[in-house]
Every structure is written in structure tokens, then in C-alpha cells.
Amino acid sequence: MSIVITGATGQLGKLVIDSLLERGVEASHIVAAGRDQEKLSAHYGPQGIRTVRVDYSDPESLEAAFHSGDKVLLISGSEVGQRVAQHRNVIDAARTAGVAQLAYTSVVRADTSTLVLAPEHKATEEALVASGLPYTLLRNGWYTENYVPALEQARQTGKVVASVGNGRVASASRADYAAAAAAVLSTDGHHNAVYELSGDVAWDFEEFAASLSTALDRPVVFEAVEPAEHFELLKAAGFDDQTAGFLVALDGNIRDGELAPTTGDLSRLTGRPTASLGETLAQLS
């Protein structure tokens, strides 16, 4: 039996494998899977971790990667609009192989959320549940690292501009989410479980600006704007209509509270408090 991590050259995949090793999983029991065999071999070969090329759009590569009894982490793809079909390829290959568990990195409250990112995750969850495979749904909330562009904007301008209103975000570090995935893959009792994962504390953008001020050692203020103005500001900054619309919609989701829930699932799985906003921003700065 192996633990197969897809997307293993990505930021989350690397952290999951690091966390598995920290938990005492032997390198020989881990399989790092991804599209770039050269990168996989260069990064994981020296650690004694087996690597395999997989492409979510190439069913044959997936069929060759999975074996009966494996535990598999399906890290959601990055190609918006293609992810449902790609994820179904992974699910089909895992079912054919007879894997023991398929964990999927979904999004918080995927089945009921109005979050702009939710529909593809909801469809993937439905396909996974319908497959009959033992599954674990890791409904990840927001990564604090997603705010690196805002940090750089604040570094240059002293401002954070957003149309989030008084919305709050219960973010956590990418390492926290990776540690939760590693816990689920390396311990028993997670079959057909759904975990709503988020940071221990939900912060608003006034608090975000204050944390940026500390991290950057310069005054930073939050400038609240209306959605229409935000859209025009993003267009003026060089974003195309689709991307600007997506970012404004995401701020609307935050304004509506979609990223605010604090369930405690993440810290319970990892056995530690989630990294605070200030801690992660200090590391990123």
C-alpha cells in the first residue's frame, strides 16, 4: 500500500509530502505524482520517494499510477472550466484500481456555498460520492498565502483596496491545510468523512491592514470601495474583464460571509492551533 499525492510539484503537494514525512511515514511508502517527471525526480528522487507521471487529462497515465489498496490525495486541478472532467478521470482510475481511500481537496461548504469557486468542487464531490469509493472531503477554506498580491500592493502603496465591506475571512496557512491532509492519509477513521477546514480566527480587512502594517513595518490602511468602482480599478490595473469580474465576485462572497466560518476541524485534525494571520504575513513579507 502506498500513499499517492497528485499535484506533488505544486505548493500544497510538496507541503503534504513534507508533513507525511514529519509524521513518520516512510519515504518508500509515498508516491509523488505530477505532470513533470523531471521536476518530480529532481525534487523527490534524493529523498527516496517514488515518482510517477500523471496528467488529469490522460486516463492512461492515471491508470498506471494507482494500485489496489493505495490511499490517494486528489489535489484539485488549476484549469478552471476543465476540472470536473479531469477530476472524474482521476476518480474513474482510482475506482478501477480499487484504491482504499480517495481524499479530495474541495472548498469550504462546497455543496451549499455561493462561492464563485464552489460549482466545480460540488460536481467533483458528487462524482466521488457516487463512485462508491471510500472518500474523504477536505473542504479547504482560504489560504492566507492567497493575499501575497495584496501584501505587495500594500508594500508599494500603503493601502489595501477591496470591496469586501465588513466581511471576514477565516484563513489559515497552506502548511496547516497540508498537515490536515497528511493526518487524514496517515491515520484511520476518515472514510466517508467531510471536514470543513478553516482558520481558528476570522479577521476583517481593518485587522488585515493592521497585520500588514506590522509585517511590513509601515502604515497600511484599508480602503473600502463599491463593487463597480473596484471593477474599474482592477481594469485600470491591467486585469481583463473576466479576471476583474472574478475578483469582484470573490470580494462579494467575502462580504456575504462565505469565507468566515470557523469550525475548528482544521486544528482538531492537525492537533495544533492554526497559524495566525500575523504569523503568516510576517513569513511572507
Ranges of residues in the chain whose predicted pLDDT is under 50: none
Task: Please give the pLDDT value at position 36.
Answer: 92
Q: Does residue 179 lie in a domain region?
A: no
**Sequential DSSP letters for 11-32:** HHHHHHHHHHHHTT--GGGEEE
Instruction: Give me the amino acid identity at 85.
Output: A
Task: Please give the pLDDT value at position 79.
Answer: 82
pTM of the model: 0.95
Q: Are residues 168 and 72 in the same domain?
A: no
Task: Please give the pLDDT value at position 80.
Answer: 80
**Sequential DSSP letters for 148-162:** HHHHHHHHHHSEEEE
Q: Cell 490536515 sits at which residue?
A: 180
Q: Are residues 26 and 117 in the same domain?
A: yes
State the CATH number of the domain containing residue 44: 3.40.50.720
89 contacts 19 by C-beta, under 8 angstroms: no
The CB density around residue 168, as the number of other CB atoms within 10 Å, is 20
Task: Please give the pLDDT value at position 253.
Answer: 96
pLDDT in tens, 79-136: 887 899 999 999 999 999 999 999 999 999 999 999 989 999 999 999 999 999 999 9
User: Phi-psi category of 226—alpha, beta or left, where left has phi over 0 and alpha has psi -120 to 50?
Assistant: beta
Q: Are residues 165 and 281 in the same domain?
A: yes
Domain boundary among 92, 125, 140: 140
Q: Are residues 73 and 148 in the same domain?
A: no
Task: Please give the pLDDT value at position 203.
Answer: 98
Task: Please give the pLDDT value at position 84.
Answer: 95
Instruction: Give me the amino acid identity at 200.
Output: D
Task: Please give the pLDDT value at position 82.
Answer: 87
Q: Are residues 114 and 217 in the same domain?
A: no
172 contacts 197 by C-beta, under 8 angstroms: yes
Q: Are residues 91 and 161 in the same domain?
A: no
**Total structural domains within the chain:** 2
Range of the domain at 93: 3-140
Task: Please give the pLDDT value at position 16.
Answer: 98
Q: Are residues 147 and 230 in the same domain?
A: yes
Q: Does residue 98 lie in a domain region?
A: yes
C-alpha cell at 186: 496517515
Q: Does residue 112 lie in a domain region?
A: yes
State the CATH number of the domain containing residue 235: 3.90.25.10
Q: Are residues 136 and 151 in the same domain?
A: no
Q: Are residues 84 and 203 in the same domain?
A: no
Q: Does residue 149 lie in a domain region?
A: yes
Q: Are residues 73 and 202 in the same domain?
A: no
